[in-house]
Amino acid sequence: MPGATKLDLGDHAPTDGGPAKAVAHVTWDRNGTAAKPIDLVPYERLVEWFGRNPAGKPSAPHILWDPFAGRFTQFVPANSRSKSLADRPGGTRTNRAGRVVIQVEALFFPYCRVAGKVYPSLVDTPCKGWAELNAWIRSWGVPDTWPMGKPVDFTSRRSEAVWEEKGGWYAHAHVPENDHQDPGSWPTFVEAPAPKPPTPATKPTVDLSRLVAAAKTDPPRSGTPVSYSGVKTVEDALVKEGLLGKSLADGHFGTATRTAYAAWQRRLGYSGTDADGIPGRTSLTKLGAKHGFTVTN
């Protein structure tokens, strides 16, 4: 995850494929009550527990999230399984049942106290970093939906059929083969930003006076000097019209280009000196309208 501290535990393993999922947990390492709130365990202690303590490593999530400060530590790549969920032999492989099964542990327990303030539910915290976390998990194909309902309390409801078939977010209390009841609540999904409209392509411009000057001065010159870059734009249009060979579209308004432009003028109904291969505003504007350039001057 961008911005997360990486503490890779190794022991990576693939998932089984299927609908992409994320699982919401809270660390719940202490039990506070309304009557007896308890100070929140320091974030660093949980990082140490999951990342370095042999007893904690097997249950490390993909991401530890601090909703009070917006900090993250990532222990496992998103496309690897973790071992945060109970997984009984022979049943659904809870830690692998999707293209991704991203486990998120929020640093929280009910009635924790931080800087003297008590927080009964996770949604009462500042939830700093949630928008970034939501967007990152969405980028892995996890839809913003709760197939078994958004957690609003510590009620367990589990359906192996839903778990197997539906992508989205699950509470730990929703996952088959598990007996935990967390997280109790979870912040509301952050609306994905609307895609930016494509930047309209800028049409090239051709300066008529400079083009005419090139048409009058280029032909007598030896070689293929490029006197004005707009010549190539016009030549490319004449190539598309089938009036000029592609190999002759070299940026030099030479005899071949002048002959091709005269053919374009005749195609528009001009004749005599009006079809002499020297561009005029009307003929050039029509060529530009057809082939995507504008005429100035």
Q: Is residue 200 part of a domain?
A: no
Residue numbers of the domain that contains 223: 205-296
Mean pLDDT of 80-107: 95
Q: How far apart are CA 246 and CA 129, in angstroms?
A: 56
Q: Are residues 49 and 154 in the same domain?
A: yes
Q: Is residue 193 part of a domain?
A: no
Beta bridge partners of 74: 6, 63
Mean pLDDT of 173-201: 92
Of 126, 158, 174, the one marking the end of a domain is 174
On whether the CB atoms of residues 164 and 92 are closer than 8 A, the answer is yes
**CB-based burial label for 160 (10 Å; 0-12, 13-18, 19+):** middle
Q: How far apart are CA 32 and CA 112, in angstroms?
A: 6
Q: Are residues 154 and 243 in the same domain?
A: no
Q: Is residue 12 part of a domain?
A: yes
Q: Is the pLDDT of residue 222 over 60?
A: no
Q: Are residues 157 and 212 in the same domain?
A: no
Indicate the length of the chain as a whole number. 297
Q: Are residues 82 and 128 in the same domain?
A: yes
Sheet with 112-114: strands ordered across? 38-39, 112-114, 117-119
Q: Is residue 111 part of a domain?
A: yes
Q: Considering only the C-alpha atoms of the chain, give the largest distance between any 2 of them, rounded to a whole number of Å.
A: 101
Q: Higher confidence at residue 198 or residue 291?
A: 291
**DSSP string covering 112-146, please?**
EEETTEEESSGGGS--TTHHHHHHHHHHTT--S--
Q: Is residue 129 part of a domain?
A: yes
What pLDDT digit, counting tens, does each position of 53-80 carry? 999 999 999 999 999 999 999 999 999 9
Q: 153 φ, ψ to 5°?
A: -155, -165
Q: Is residue 20 part of a domain?
A: yes
**DSSP string covering 79-114, please?**
TS--S-S---TTS--TTTSSS-EEEEEES--TTEEE
**CB-based burial label for 108 (10 Å; 0-12, 13-18, 19+):** buried
Q: Is the pLDDT of residue 89 over 60?
A: yes
**DSSP string covering 183-242, please?**
-S--PPPPPPPPPPPPPPPPPPEEEHHHHHHHHHHSTTSSS---S-THHHHHHHHHHHTT
Q: Is the pLDDT of residue 31 over 60?
A: yes
Mean pLDDT of 263-278: 96
H/E run at residue 74: strand 71-74
What mean pLDDT value characterizes the chain?
A: 95
Q: Are residues 158 and 238 in the same domain?
A: no
What pLDDT digit, counting tens, does each position of 119-156 carry? 999 999 999 999 999 999 999 999 999 999 999 999 99
The pLDDT score that the predictor gives to residue 6 is 97
Of 16-25, 95-104, 186-195, 219-228, minimum mean pLDDT range: 219-228
H/E run at residue 48: helix 43-51
The pLDDT score that the predictor gives to residue 45 is 97
Domain count, the chain: 2
Q: The dihedral of CA 76, 77, 82, 85: what is its sign?
A: positive
Q: Are residues 22 and 78 in the same domain?
A: yes
Q: Are residues 159 and 227 in the same domain?
A: no
Q: Are residues 153 and 257 in the same domain?
A: no
Q: Are residues 89 and 149 in the same domain?
A: yes
Q: CA distances (Å), 251 to each of 67, 231, 277, in order?
A: 61, 5, 16
CATH number at residue 135: 3.40.80
Q: Is the pLDDT of residue 220 over 70?
A: no
Q: Is the pLDDT of residue 109 over 70?
A: yes
Q: Are residues 20 and 68 in the same domain?
A: yes
Q: Is residue 198 part of a domain?
A: no
Closest by alpha carbon to 124, among 114, 134, 138? 114
Q: Is residue 264 part of a domain?
A: yes
Q: How far is CA 208 from the centre of its chain?
A: 43
Beta bridge partners of 3: none
